[in-house]
Structure 1
């Protein structure tokens, strides 16, 4: 009986010691498991962070590449601003102005062909008429020059050449071609040659240094008549009666004859 009691007490003591040690053992075990879990979570977080940063760097690199190349950039998410570089001196247009002394004379034209000193000039319709000239005292060059022939009979300016440059100082006028296509044909009359600034008009007054209208050349234009035999020719302006000079000569001759006859009769009577 005593032996069983002693065994029972030993069992109690052993069980109480194990019970006292079990919380501490369980605590260490739990702490160990928590440390392992924390280390695992930290390693997972660090790996996730490295993966995320790697993906972000790759994404930013691809986006920057897309922005740079302009290919594959997402629509509506990436906006680019183009900044134009400042224009260089060669690209800029320099505005220049010409200062003209108000005391300067207006520019003029000096005719070469036909010369102003030549005798009367006649142009036959069907021929080529040549006009050449030079500019004098011209400071501001006109952008275009017109050449026209003015006829006072019908008060019309016949265009010879239009929008010539200042370097074009000679022109050949094809009167035959003009006459065939003109709505107002050339008349047999006297004409005045005009050379003036196309941005102005023939009657305007030019500023100093600018081109003044030229109108100092007169020439005649005539139309050739078809050949007519002499025996069939009829003068439209001729008359069968005596002209005034012929009548005066005849009257003088008759008067002298009458006076001579009177003196002769008087001399014979005496």
Structure 2
């Protein structure tokens, strides 16, 4: 009986010590560990999904921004490609991102066509030039609204109905100047120059000399006259005859004068004889 009581006391003591011991339940610890491991996996998966979603969102945003930037760049390029041409007033139209301006010029028909004003030689008098020497022509343009790109300069001779080219495709300048080397022209000319009066014309290279110019355009209807001549070799004074001098009479002129004086003498003598025969002087 006493041994049974000692055994019970021993169990009670061990139970008291076991209940007072500070350790956790292994099963609970194992369960918590399992739960913690599962919880970590879910959290990691959630974090991975969140990160993937964030990455996708950022990529989508980047793609959208890139597309927007590309579109903006494309629009900017299109805007920069727009060009406007023309310096005159007019109407403009846009086609496929390109702006084209159609220029127009307002010309008063009453103003007439443009022309030239001769500076050299003087237009108020006729100038004479020796063939074989250089001739300088200088002029200004008047009443010219539409300027030609280039001009041609020619000299027309009415004596042989020929037109001599002084220069072609001459650049348009405010004051035109050209030097005609008549000696060089004569050295290779198929149509020689004549001692005659010439008319200088300046006209648009894209047109012909006979074209009629509209108002504001360069016209070739007005020319300026000058004369050219060939020099002659000197003549000895005794054999020189001045055909325009008062004392220089040709043989025909001399014979005419002899005939006139002869007829006058015969008429006078005949009248005197007739009057003396019939006694007209005795009355």
Relative to the length of structure 2, the TM-score reads 0.54
Query: Would the aligned equivalents of 1:195 and 1:214 in 2 still touch at CA under 8 Å?
Result: no
- For 1:182 and 1:87, how far apart are their aligned partners in 2? 57
Residues 190-269 of structure 1 correspond to what in structure 2 (within 5 A)? 190-225=197-232, 227-230=233-236, 243-265=251-273
* Structure 1 residues without counterparts, runs of 5 or longer: 1-80
- For 1:130 and 1:192, how far apart are their aligned partners in 2? 14
- For 1:130 and 1:172, how far apart are their aligned partners in 2? 4
Distance 1:251 1:125, change over 3 A: same
Residues 15-30 of structure 1 correspond to what in structure 2 (within 5 A)? none
Residue of structure 1 in register with 2:80 after alignment: 87
1:98 maps to which of 88, 105, 108: 105
Q: How far 1:210 sits from its partner (Å)?
A: 1.3
Q: How far 1:101 sits from its partner (Å)?
A: 1.9
- For 1:195 and 1:215, how far apart are their aligned partners in 2? 9
Residue of structure 1 in register with 2:153 after alignment: 147
Residue of structure 2 in register with 1:31 after alignment: none
Distance 1:257 1:92, change over 3 A: closer
Write the deviation string for residues 135-173 of structure 1: whole angstroms up to 9, x where unpaired: 22x242332222110123443321113223132323222
- What SS does the aligned partner of 2:173 have? coil
- For 2:146 and 2:84, how far apart are their aligned partners in 1? 25
How many pairs does the alignment contain?
A: 221
Residue of structure 1 in register with 2:191 after alignment: 184
Q: How far 1:109 sits from its partner (Å)?
A: 1.9
- For 1:187 and 1:266, how far apart are their aligned partners in 2? 61
> RMSD in angstroms over aligned alpha carbons?
5.1
Distance 1:249 1:233, change over 3 A: closer
Q: How far 1:114 sits from its partner (Å)?
A: 2.3
Query: Would the aligned equivalents of 1:146 and 1:164 in 2 still touch at CA under 8 Å?
Result: no
Query: Would the aligned equivalents of 1:145 and 1:195 in 2 still touch at CA under 8 Å?
Result: yes
- For 2:173 and 2:183, how far apart are their aligned partners in 1? 26
Relative to the length of structure 1, the TM-score reads 0.56
Distance 1:252 1:208, change over 3 A: same
Residue of structure 2 in register with 1:5 after alignment: none
Distance 1:108 1:264, change over 3 A: same
Query: Would the aligned equivalents of 2:120 and 2:139 in 1 still touch at CA under 8 Å?
Result: yes
2:139 maps to which of 109, 121, 133: 133
- For 1:267 and 1:151, how far apart are their aligned partners in 2? 64
Query: Would the aligned equivalents of 2:115 and 2:144 in 1 still touch at CA under 8 Å?
Result: no
* Structure 2 residues without counterparts, runs of 5 or longer: 1-73, 90-103, 244-248
- For 2:160 and 2:276, how far apart are their aligned partners in 1? 70
- For 1:89 and 1:233, how far apart are their aligned partners in 2? 84
1:116 maps to which of 108, 114, 123: 123
